[in-house]
Amino acid sequence: MKTALLLGAGSSIAQAIARALAQQGYALQLAARDPSALEPFASDLKLKYTLPVTLHTLDARAYATHSEFYENLPVFPEVIICAVGYLGDQPFGEKNWAEVENIIECNYTGPVSLLNIAAEKMQLKKAGVIIGISSVAGERGRASNYLYGSAKAGFTAYLSGLRNRLYPLGIRVITLKPGFVYSKMTEHLTLPPRLTASPEQVAKAVIKNLSSGSEIIYVKPIWAIIMTIIRLIPEFIFKKLKL
């Protein structure tokens, strides 16, 4: 039986992915800052799928604890999904460094610290899959969310380099770009239905591409077209747009 570890398992997306993996027969390791909050969810998965589900405490910003976190897992997983993230408040962050720090650490430095250690362990085994949840927001800086977008841009570049490094060893690194998603993180926003995915659609894309398929995934393919257009807009025009 294969095992999957979900980093940031408290999110709507992570939990949808966990359900989809359980349906595929994976044992699950769910890691979050407050794993006790996941006990009802874990119990439901165990009852429905009769699979091992373990809960683990993880603070993505507590870098010194990350090696010990992996050492304390009951088994090292074949699949690791990094769903750690924080949308943050752009206007507040423009005036408050603590908010900027939180955005950067939750979306870039924390995930990088966690996946660096995972990559070393997978390198020894010469097997495994790493899935990082990034964002289309990282493809070009926009006035409305450039703090979050810049952190995700860094994470996308990191995953690209990690993929290049681990490819010769047979280790897959997948970059998942969901676009807008109906989730706890976006429940305060008004989102365009045609461009917005459900957590279940994100999970379906993960399962579809887990063993083979694309390693850069737009959950809604229209986002690939939209972001190509946005990247091609000349800067002298782009800076005048209210995006």
Residue 222 belongs to a domain? yes
**CA-to-CA dists, residue 58 to 68, 137, 157, angstroms:** 10, 26, 24
Tally of CB atoms within 10 A around 221: 10
Catalytic-labelled residue, pool 49, 86, 108, 148: 148
Q: Would you say residue 42 lies in a domain?
A: yes
- Does residue 7 belong to any structural domain of this protein? yes
The mean pLDDT of the chain is 94
Give residues with Cβ within 8 angstroms of 97, minimum separation 6.
none
32 occurs within a structural domain = yes
Token pair 């887990």 is found at 210
Strands 27-32 and 53-57: parallel
Give pLDDT tens digits for 64-78.
Answer: 999 999 999 999 999
Report the CATH number at residue 154: 3.40.50.720
Per-residue model confidence (pLDDT) at position 56: 98
Token pair, residue 100, equals: 């900027």
Q: Is residue 192's pLDDT more than 80?
A: no
Cβ–Cβ < 8 Å for 104, 125? no
Q: Please name the residues in contact with 232: beta carbons below 8 A apart, sequence gap of 6 or more.
A: none
Judge whether residue 185 has pLDDT over 70: no
**Tens digit of each residue's pLDDT (9 = 90 or more) over 162-183:** 999 999 999 999 999 998 887 7
Question: Is there a domain that residue 84 lies in?
Answer: yes
Identify any residues that bridge with 57 across adjacent strands, giving them in sequence order. 32
**Token pair 């095992």: residue:** 3
Residues pairing with 216 in the sheet:
175
Query: Per-residue pLDDT averaged across 121-130, rounded?
Result: 95
* 243 within some domain: no
Q: What is the per-residue DSSP string for 169-210?
A: GT-EEEEEE--EE-SGGGTTS---GGGEE-HHHHHHHHHHHS
Residue 236 CB neighbours (<10 A): 7
Domain extent at residue 225:
3-238
| Cβ count within 10 A of residue 67 | 14
148 is known as an active-site residue: yes
Q: How many domains does the chain have?
A: 1
Q: How many of the other CB atoms lie within 10 Å of CB of 31?
A: 27
Strands 216-218 and 196-197: unpaired
